[in-house]
Amino acid sequence: MGDVLNLGNGRPGIDVERADAELGTLDAAGRVAWTLQRFAGATVLSSSFGAQSAVMLHMVSRQQPDIPVVLVDTGYLFPETYRFVDELTERLGLALQVYQPALSPAWQEARHGRLWEQGLAGIERYNRMNKVEPMQRALDELGARAWLSGIRRGQAASRAERSHAEYRNGRLKVHPVLEWSDRDVFRYLEHHDLPYHPLWHEGYVSIGDVHTTHRLADGMSTEETRFFGLKRECGLHVEA
């Protein structure tokens, strides 16, 4: 424990390479336990309440029921997503923490127009305002030193080389289910009688905002279902 939290590679307080090596020897639940033990009282779990989010919400909350679960609400989520949030929050007893952008959707559109219709630059500006800034604010206000996330390598080419432990703005970001396949996810959900997001059954494989999320169609890659195929990452798992 001490070695991981001592100075490492110029990064105050965390030796990320050692942490990643240790996490690589554990299973997903073990990685969660490792993080909660070493960063007791200073760990948060982020969730988009997307297609397969019930896995991490269940796995983490049953080890620490009161862990802050951060949802970034852009104001443009699907109605089904808001209902899914309510369902899982009640069922799992989640300590939900909802963070929103500094400006409301209506105010943003009045000032900047529909940023998601303004090409790649507009989408990136939209994501910084509506996703990255609220998440960073959540991490700061909640005093997070470690951040658990459910991203997986198989979700996108941009995630194929990710590590179990990464350094993000002075925090350790841990990905417990990083190497899981869709079949692994299915087996976990089935074993614990947990639901997929309701839109999963309507052909949505990656679920974000209503204006930049599309069903998977013939000839379309999973990555093309988000942001009109211009990009895959919203910025939360790259910048924050």
Separation of alpha carbons 158 and 137, rounded Å: 24
pLDDT higher than threshold 50 for residue 14: yes
pLDDT higher than threshold 90 for residue 223: no
pLDDT higher than threshold 50 for residue 205: yes
The CATH fold of domain 40-229: Rossmann fold (3.40.50)
C-alpha pair distances (Å), 134 with each of 76, 110, 128, 140, 219:
14, 20, 9, 10, 35
Q: Looking at 88, 138, 177, 234, which residue is catalytic?
A: 234
Separation of alpha carbons 90 and 21, rounded Å: 36
Q: How many CA atoms lie within 13 A of 65 on its CB side?
A: 4
User: What's the pLDDT score for residue 4?
Assistant: 59
Q: What is the mean pLDDT of residues 165-191?
A: 93
Q: What is the mean pLDDT of residues 15-30?
A: 94
Q: How many CA atoms lie within 13 A of 233 on its CB side?
A: 16
Can 134 be counted among the known catalytic residues?
no
> Per the confidence metrics, is the pTM higher than 0.85?
yes
Q: How confident is the prediction for the chain on average, in pLDDT? A: 88
- State the pLDDT confidence band at 159, using cuts at 50, 70 and 90: low
Separation of alpha carbons 184 and 60, rounded Å: 17
pLDDT higher than threshold 50 for residue 12: no
User: What's the pLDDT score for residue 190?
Assistant: 97
pLDDT higher than threshold 50 for residue 8: no
- State the pLDDT confidence band at 158, using cuts at 50, 70 and 90: low
Radius of gyration of the chain (CA): 18
Q: What is the mean pLDDT of residues 208-231?
A: 81
User: What's the pLDDT score for residue 1?
Assistant: 43
97-122, pLDDT tens digit by residue? Answer: 999 999 999 999 999 999 999 999 99
